[in-house]
Structure 1
Amino acid sequence: MRQQSTGKKKNPLWLFGAAGAFVLAKAKALLPLLKLGKAGGAVLSMLVTVGAYAILFPFGFAVGFVLLILGHELGHVIAAKRKGLPVSGIFFIPFLGALTNMKRNPRDAVTEAYIAFGGPLVGSMCALAVFAAALVWNHPLLYSLAYVGFFLNLINMLPINPLDGGRIVVAVSRWMWVVGLVGGLVVIYFMPNIILIIIWLMFAWDMYKKFVKYRNHGQPRAVVMPIQVEAQPLIDQGYFIPGPEHKRQLDFTTYCDLEDGRQDVLIYWENMQLEGRLTLPEQGTIKRVHVIKIDHLQHENGLRLTVHCQVDYEKYEDDAYYDVPIASRWKFGISYALLAVFLVYMMHLTHKAVGISA
């Protein structure tokens, strides 16, 4: 007689709870890594990601999978360094992958495509090395890692922002983004995945804003910067101290560094003896700088204000950014197609090798 379980079905959210428990259990041992700065943060996020994947998969697979992601991101780092762009570090995000933080953006589409191509290229070579090891040792774990490595790099080649493929094709033709919109739907239809769906929706919304909503003017952006001011000296001099809900426009000066393209905004409020410098994440046309709120904090030396200043600007779209020589368009187009075909072939070869070894 077969006994049926009468217990309640487990909520799938227990996986996230288990991941959190793992992180908390290991947090004390991992805290010294934070003292190593950016490298320590990268290692810490990498270890946490391994732990998260180890909840769902065998530990060896989790380690190998994260190392493949690391290889992919190192490809971006190497490419950025070759182009003279500084990189601040790599940060791993469990179940989402990783990202490489760049201190400044590329100044043209060729550079952007070059850096983007570095990830799938090196990532594919890492997967190829795992496949070679699988052939030597005939180990199912290595075959699985190789297949997943080829597959993830292939998915990353879809011409959809913010995937690498979406950044590579800017050096070929922006019409490839239309291919990405349609192709992305096809991929989602045959391989439904919540992360792919979110990425596709974000890409579609970005395309709508870029080519429809803000076609004739820049996209509005805003950056907030808190600036601290010691208010007690102002009070002693009889100055009026504005309240928390005080709103006003501020004077500013902006300039752009011709060497690296960085745009800074200098913010002034003379009566409050406030001065601050904000670096925009991208070049833009400043519309206004204004105070959105003021925090009043009492400390041992008297009143201190934290003035939250918001910079409203429109992103500057330079059509010259997409001026790519014909030779470069062909080079990136052919390289893009060859790498995609290579990845498809290697997935087929890995699947075939697994069948033979079995």
Structure 2
Amino acid sequence: MQQRKRTKKNPLWIIGAAGAFLLTQGKLLFSLLKFGKFGGLFISMLVSIWAYAIVFPWTFAIGFVLLILVHEFGHVFAARQKGLPVTAPLFIPFLGALINLKRHPRDAATEAYVAIGGPMLGTVGALVVFGIAVYVDHPMWYSLAMTGFLINLFNLLPIHPLDGGRIVTAVSRWLWLVGLIGGLVLIIYNFNVILLLIWAMFAYDLYKKYVVRRKLGADKRALAASFLVPAQPLIEQGYIIPGQEHKRELDFVTYSDLEGQQFVRVMWEGLNFQGTIPLTQQALIRRAHVTRLDRIQKEDGLHLMIHCQVDYDPFENDRYYEVPTAARWKYGIAYFGLAGFLFGMMALVRRVGEL
């Protein structure tokens, strides 16, 4: 069979145009790096591009990082739609990127919605790259499209902390067992260090959640916070400032706002001090106490840095996993449908790219 003749276009013009735009907007970029809340995002992106460029061509490295960025912004958009505060993505070379939810979802359906937003938008990004690949007809773009589909398919593995492990929370937690066994099979037949680390963390988390906790009871945790208070007024009132190693129990009250965010307000009556500590999840507070005091001299006088710790037990609400049957079907169809679509697109890219 005679192969069709390709008229290849220069694949660098799109990336070159993006680079030219960044150069013309250099002042804006540096202002973002210095003052914007996305400074960490840009710096971590540049570091990741540099790291990937050691292994791959720099054009592929840029495209790879941008595909990951699109995936992560899918999570950001989904979280904001659900009213969850979220940080900007942070890239970790050779491990991908992550976002941090400042408040834990209130139910499994919300967690699944935020989780599936990443591979959904990431798949759209990979489709755009595939369209460019067909247009410019160059192997680099086909490789990038294949990588984009593979990234999103990999994230659909039903293993925490991957997206798939969070999505199936709203479908059936029994799929975690499928992920545990399937992940081990993948490691045995196609060894991958990153997958091994993720699988090991997942297995250990399941062990703690369903074995250790049932034997020993609640999973005890602690959260630390520090508060700076002026000490000069206390000295003027004749109050004796405690030493650095001073430790004491603190009075506290805990409450939640209308959105379900829990707070702990700690109080030290002798210092006329109150401080509020937000929790990342619902919890049962065991105690609040001072772990250390630091004396800090400033221009306006002596200050105390009060280091506090809140000891708590996570509140495991079984209602968290109560998802309406219709929602379970919706997420199940979306999950398996997206996985099947990604498999199909990978086969299509392989076929078209080899024509």
Q: TM-score range by the shorter chain?
A: 0.7 to 0.9
- Tell me whether 33-42 or 336-345 shows the greater mean CA deviation: 33-42
Task: Return the alpha-carbon distance in structure 2 between the equivalents of residues 193 and 242 of structure 1.
Answer: 53
Distance in 1 of aligned mates of 2:80 and 2:230: 41
**What is aligned with 1:205?**
204
The equivalent of 1:233 in structure 2 is 233
SS at match of 1:334: helix
Q: Displacement, 1:85?
A: 2.7
- The aligned amino acid for 1:243 is G
Letter in 2 for 1:338: G
**Partner residue in 2 for 1:10:** none
Q: CA deviation at 1:74?
A: 1.7
| SS of corresponding position for 2:144 | helix
Closer/same/farther in 2, CA of residues 51 and 224 from structure 1, 3 Å limit: same
SS in 1 for 2:99: strand
Whole-angstrom distance in 2 between the partners of 1:51 and 1:38: 22
Q: Is the 8 A contact 2:102 2:280 kept in 1?
A: no
Greater alpha carbon shift after TM alignment, 171-180 vs 214-223? 214-223
Q: Distance in 2 between matches of 1:127 and 1:333?
A: 22
Matches of 2:190 and 2:307, distance apart in 1: 45
Is 32-41 or 51-60 further displaced after alignment? 32-41
One-letter code of the match for 1:121? M
Contact 2:225-2:277 at 8 Å conserved across structures: yes
What's the counterpart of residue 322 of structure 1? 321
Amino acid aligned to 2:228: Q
Partners of 1:306 and 1:74 lie apart in 2 by 37
> How do residues 215-226 of structure 1 correspond to structure 2 at under 5 angstroms?
215=214, 217-226=217-226
Aligned equivalents of 2:301, 2:80: Cα separation in 1: 47
- Partner residue, 2:291: 292
CA offset digits 1:241-290 (Å, max 9, x no partner): 22111111100011011x21101111111112221111011110000001
For the residue of structure 1 that corresponds to 2:87, the secondary structure is: strand
Per-residue Cα deviation, 1:54-109 (whole angstroms, up to 9, x for no partner): 22211110111011111111211222233233333222222221122333222111
In the TM superposition, what whole-angstrom CA distance separates every residue of 1:125-149 from its partner, at most 9, and x where no partner exists? 2112212221222111101101111
**In structure 2, what is the Cα distance between the partners aligned to 1:67 and 1:61?**
10
Q: Is the contact between residue 33 and residue 44 of structure 1 (CA under 8 Å) also seen in structure 2?
A: no
Displacement of 1:311 in angstroms is 0.3
C-alpha contact (below 8 Å) 1:227/1:274 kept by paired residues: no
Q: Which ranges of structure 2 fall in alignment gaps of 5 or more residues?
A: 1-27
CA deviation after TM superposition for structure 1 residue 298, in Å: 2.8
- Render the CA deviation track for 1:202-260: whole Å, top value 9, x for unaligned: 11111111112123743211111111122233233222222111111100011011x21
The answer on 1:180 being equivalent to 2:173 is no
Instruction: Note the 1:1-358 alignment, pairs <5 A.
Output: 32-215=31-214, 217-257=217-257, 259-356=258-355
* CA distance in structure 1 between the aligned counterparts of 2:251 and 2:30, rounded to whole angstroms: 43
Structure 1, residues 303-342: CA drift from partner, whole Å, max 9, x if none? 3221110000011111111111112112211221111122
Amino acid corresponding to residue 281 of structure 2 in structure 1 = E
The amino acid of 2:245's aligned partner reads E
Q: 3-state DSSP class of the match of 1:214? A: helix
The DSSP-based 3-state class of the residue aligned with 1:198 is: helix
Give, as a single letter, the amino acid of the residue that structure 2 aligns with 1:342. Answer: F
Aligned letter for 1:92? F
Q: CA RMSD in A?
A: 2.0
- Superposition deviation, residue 295 in structure 1: 1.4
CA–CA distance in structure 1, aligned partners of residues 136 and 33 of structure 2: 37
**How far did 1:30 drift?**
7.1
Question: Could you tell me which amino acid in structure 1 is paired with residue 319 of structure 2?
Answer: A
- TM-score (structure 2 length as normaliser): 0.87
Contact 1:128-1:146 at 8 Å conserved across structures? yes
Please tell me whether the aligned partners of residues 30 and 44 of structure 1 are also in contact (alpha carbons under 8 angstroms).
Answer: no
Classify the secondary structure of the residue corresponding to 1:79: helix
CA distance in structure 1 between the aligned counterparts of 2:266 and 2:33, rounded to whole angstroms: 33
User: Does the Cα contact within 8 Å between 1:293 and 1:307 map onto a contact in 2?
Assistant: yes
Q: Alignment length, in residue pairs?
A: 328
Q: Which runs of 4+ in 1 moved over 6 A?
A: none
The AA in structure 2 aligned to 1:105 is: H
